[in-house]
Structure 1
């Protein structure tokens, strides 16, 4: 083995646990696209992934987190505060920066936090030590999962089985970018900017329409039926399980290329524009489908811009809208909790009538 390869393998072995490479995942294009667009623009609002058991939902979500470049955080800060972006700082760091203090930083992997089904509200939001606050006048905060997930990804497997109250808290934090904990008149607020990813099996029930609507995108995945593709997936997984570091080395170039594309898209995103007539067509589609509220319009505009940025364009094309609009709208058509989510055929028919006219 040459010296270069030895170095790569050595670096890879420093990882606590090897993660299956994102670029090695075969099929499931809807899920992969939805995740990519959400990491390019977290303001899309997260993604709900529904599909059969054993279709690689968890593997893909962990793979996208492992693919992302390291982020700079303030050293010893429990909220992963950004050293220069005011909106991503905790109050303590804001005070330090305001005083002109030297704020040491370090690079960390993008946080990937799993929320267990049995989690309590205190575990999710964090807790305040009331006794210490009352006796010593010191606000002592024990951070929860929302603090740890700041500037990263919060993954909830079987989100459709999670208590609605907790889902509401997660969605509120994801939408506002902040988490507020209040106990006995004492309040602590901290940044909680994360990509919320929920997954589940539709056989175990769907989320209520009111909660489902607040996820930016909805991806459906199905078990692959084509024999040759199933064989390829099994071979890929077996290769990784038998020798993960060799597999990671094999896909290193593709991983690096995709990582560069994501960073470039994030930097390009703010300059991407969408013409007025295309915005009107998006709203016309939403109106024709009787989508409640304006969340569908907003998310589709954001997703189309992210898709254009990913494809190195400064202006949204009509094909960018066609590529993302089903992911953004299909879950917003369900009005009755007893209804099933449209597979996308209804959205596709309206899109063909309006966008092709």
Structure 2
């Protein structure tokens, strides 16, 4: 069952908020690929999407959540706990299971949480009611956006304008899969497994390199210049705005096919391997580009495996690596103020050299 199923009944139509279909989005292939690969393997580490205003960043990101099937959660649990996977459940649910108490499960749509720019740390992480803890001896926790986003997607628009401290918290939670709130000697810990997606306009400021490096992939998008393609994009948007349900119906089959491909890739991923020689070449590229740390190597390996699974291959080949490596490394290069070469082009040059493509 998918959260995008269409029901012809008018009352249901009114209840569903129409979402622009992902498969109807024209162009911006780099951004779309990065998002799909992160759905296949959330451990890639999220996506940072930087580009011009009005290029469809928010529309594409909100459309991607519609490609996922509903997930099984514990009913009325604020953390979207899984009813049987201990890594994806809250302490309260674990204790109930250990006491052999009945746990009721239900299906929900994959959470898609927007983090507003003005959000406080308490709103993001959650807060502990100290008064109730002191007076009644009860740990009373008000969950934040990280709890709501567990097992879903957390989207931060204009992430480059967000306070660095909050960005650090988001990245730590995304990397560890857990959120810990400590106050006045009281500690609460809950699962926070989510795909972190950030977007922004580079003209409004860049993220610090230390934070940018923590995003698994980095997609750059530009305003479409081809007049015929621009007309097609405008027509597509006008069609959806004038009759969204007809547009959804038109793309229903394509949406279903893409959903099935993503699910098949998720199942195939654990059995995929990368030849040792190719892994050495990936690390050689990272070394020649003087990439700090090993995140670049790890993410490129993960992304290449996810792409191979998506393409229904049994193993990773050179084409898979060349397709993803620019997305995985361009934001990890050291910035030289006097350098005029685009970072993506620089990555491509080294890749061609290492993989003997001339």
- TM-score, normalized by length of structure 1? 0.95
| Equivalent position of 2:246 in the other structure | 246
Are the equivalent residues in 2 in contact too, given 1:181–1:188 (CA < 8 A)?
yes
Counterpart for residue 279 of structure 1:
279
8 A contact 1:334–1:340 mirrored in 2: no
Structure 2 unaligned regions, length at least 5: none
Which residue of the partner structure matches residue 327 of structure 1?
327
CA distance in 2, matches of 1:28, 1:352: 23
Q: Structure 1, unaligned stretches of length 5 or more?
A: none
Using the TM superposition, give the Cα deviation of residue 334 of structure 1 relative to its aligned residue in structure 2, in angstroms: 3.0
Q: Answer yes or no: is the 8 Å Cα contact 1:157–1:199 preserved in 2.
A: yes
Partner of 1:136: 136
Q: What are the superposed Cα offsets for residues 163-217 of structure 1, whole Å, 9 maximum, x if unpaired?
A: 0000000000000000000000000000000000000001001101000000000
- Go from structure 1 to structure 2 and tell me whether the alpha carbon gap of 1:228 and 1:11 turns closer, same or farther (over 3 Å shift): farther
Counterpart Cα distance in 1 of 2:10 and 2:276: 52
Tell me: CA distance 1:329–1:187, structure 2 relative to 1, closer, same or farther (3 Å): same
Kindly tell me: are residues 131 and 6 of structure 1, through their superposed partners in 2, closer, same or farther at Cα, counting changes over 3 Å? closer
**How far did 1:268 drift?**
1.1
1:40–1:265: 8 Å Cα contact kept in structure 2? yes
Equivalent residues in 2 for 1:84-103, closer than 5 Å: 84-103=84-103
Change (3 A) 1:284 1:313: same
* 2:109 alignment counterpart: 109
Correspondence 1:202-217 to 2 at 5 A? 202-217=202-217
Partner of 1:310: 310
1:192 aligns with 2:166: no
Deviations 1:117-164 (Å, cap 9, x if unpaired)? 000000000000001001111000000000000000000000000000
2: CA distance, partners of 1:264 / 1:14: 32
Q: Provide the residue aligned with 2:165 in structure 1.
A: 165
Which residue does the alignment assign to 1:36? Answer: 36
When normalised by structure 2's length, the TM-score is 0.95
Match of 1:76 in 2: 76
Query: Contact 1:125–1:147 (CA<8 Å) still a contact in 2?
Result: yes
**What RMSD, in angstroms, separates the aligned Cα atoms of the two structures?**
1.8
Match of 2:154, SS state, is strand
Does the Cα contact within 8 Å between 1:114 and 1:155 map onto a contact in 2? yes
For residues 335-354 of structure 1, what are the structure 2 equivalents within 5 Å?
335=335, 342-354=342-354
Give the secondary structure class of the aligned counterpart of 1:197: strand
Closer, same or farther: CA 183–310 of 1 in aligned 2, 3 Å? same
Matching residue of 1:24 = 24
Classify the secondary structure of the residue corresponding to 2:179: strand
Structure 1, residues 212-263: CA drift from partner, whole Å, max 9, x if none? 0000000000000001100100000000000000000000000001001111
